[in-house]
Structure 1
Amino acid sequence: MITWQASRVEHPARTASWRSMEAVVAGDKAGWLALFAPDGVVEDPVGPSAFDPQGLGHHGHEAIAAFWDKAIALAERFEFTIADSFAAGSEVANIGTISAFLPSGHRVDTEGVFVYRVGEDGLIRSMRAFWEVDRAMGTLRATS
């Protein structure tokens, strides 16, 4: 589910971000990968993390697919709540919360700023997610 409380003014990067969220909600790995340019990069979160110990990002379709398997595929489902969205140039910065529902019966809410940059073809060149691991893990709770 996507709850969009932000601007709906058309912008290529905003459209790409929406499609990215739709693919994640649908569990559509192939559809999600198709949104990225062949040389695209995902930094989620930006900097070193369990998903990217070196903090260099996941470059290219093969690495982005591996990120899906390590991070996105672990959840049973996702919900996105976008409170605001700022588009400028070839980028959009969405502010919101991503809720991941885990197979263990737990939920984690990740608040952050999610920045997408697209090329002239509308494909995602980079997706950078600014969020704090400790802050997200502090929301871990059982679902009813």
Structure 2
Amino acid sequence: MSATPAESIAAVERSPQAAGAHDREGWVAVFAADARVEDPVGSRPHRGRAQIERFYDTFIGPRAITFHRGGDVVFGSTVIRDVTVEVRMGPSVAMLIPAFLRYDLDDSLRISRLQAFWELPAMMWQFARNGLRAVPAGMQLSRALLRNQKLAGTVGFLSGFLGTTVRGKQHVGRLLDDACAGDQVAVKRRLANALSVTRGDDERIGTSELVALLHGARWDGMIRAGHCVAARVHRDGCRLVLFADVETRPVRIRAVRVFADEQWT
């Protein structure tokens, strides 16, 4: 029997609770044995318990992390959380990172995949603005990366700087403007090269259905991570998250996935 939205949210909530409590075993235990963590999306994924433990030791254990929730979307076995992550890397260095966190759950309500969509370049710029205060925290992170992830893992993390460009982000913004305005012709033109448009991962829909879903809504909170652009869409107190896979040369949208809460019509 499939889980209810409340049960899925409760299962997902174990992750930030364990991270906030610095409960290493509890945090790792919320994942399936063959789980995959992509944090941020665009960096090299961590697969299986050993790599997920090293991820915790590098990025979670040494610092205080608080998750400020903006809302959840539950679609089948997927929970998408709209959050701002507050990361304290030292007594005087703190950052606020807007993110979409996608959790895919297995039949046992363990996390089979976690994808964190946030902007690594923007985070590094925010970090650098702390000036000299950031130097000790930066050195600590560099040592932890090399100790736990080795050189290949460090390079894999830094690959999160690559991916779609600001121009690609703007391209998705124009798609959303057209869809929210109900302009089917413009949406069809912008998605002329798209391989798929789906509700969730698998339910194929046409451009007319996409426009029907978004017409009259508003969007904001756009984030680019790897080759994906994500944005929140809201209407009448309901919430939808759109993910667009974007190629850079030339800039074009290759796939669109929308995840809406059960009240969305």
Higher-RCO chain (CA-CA 8 Å, sequence separation at least 6):
1
Instruction: Please say whether Structure 1 and Structure 2 have the same fold, judged by a TM-score greater than 0.5.
Output: yes
Root-mean-square deviation (Å): 1.5
Among candidates 24, 36, 44, match of residue 19 of structure 2: 24
Residue 107 (1) aligns with residue 103 (2): no
Structure in which a larger fraction of residues adopt helix: 2
> Contact 1:111–1:136 (CA<8 Å) still a contact in 2?
no
Among candidates 60, 63, 67, match of residue 55 of structure 2: 67
Tell me the residue number matched to 1:51: none
Structure 2's unaligned 5+ residue stretches are: 134-265
Tell me the residue number matched to 1:39: 34
SS in 2 for 1:122: coil
Deviations 1:103-134 (A, max 9, x none): 25200111110000111101110100000012
Paired residues for 1:63-142 under 5 Å: 63-75=51-63, 77-140=64-127, 141=130
Between structure 1 and structure 2, the one with the greater Rg is 2
Moved over 6 A (4+): none
SS in 1 for 2:6: coil
Measured in 2, the distance between the counterparts of 1:109 and 1:117 equals 24
TM-score (norm 1): 0.81
Cα 1:109–1:137, aligned 2, differ >3 Å: closer, same or farther? farther
SS in 2 for 1:74: coil
Aligned residue pair count: 125
Measured in 2, the distance between the counterparts of 1:84 and 1:134 equals 25
Give 1:96 shift. 1.1
Measured in 2, the distance between the counterparts of 1:10 and 1:107 equals 32
**Aligned partner letter, 2:53:** A
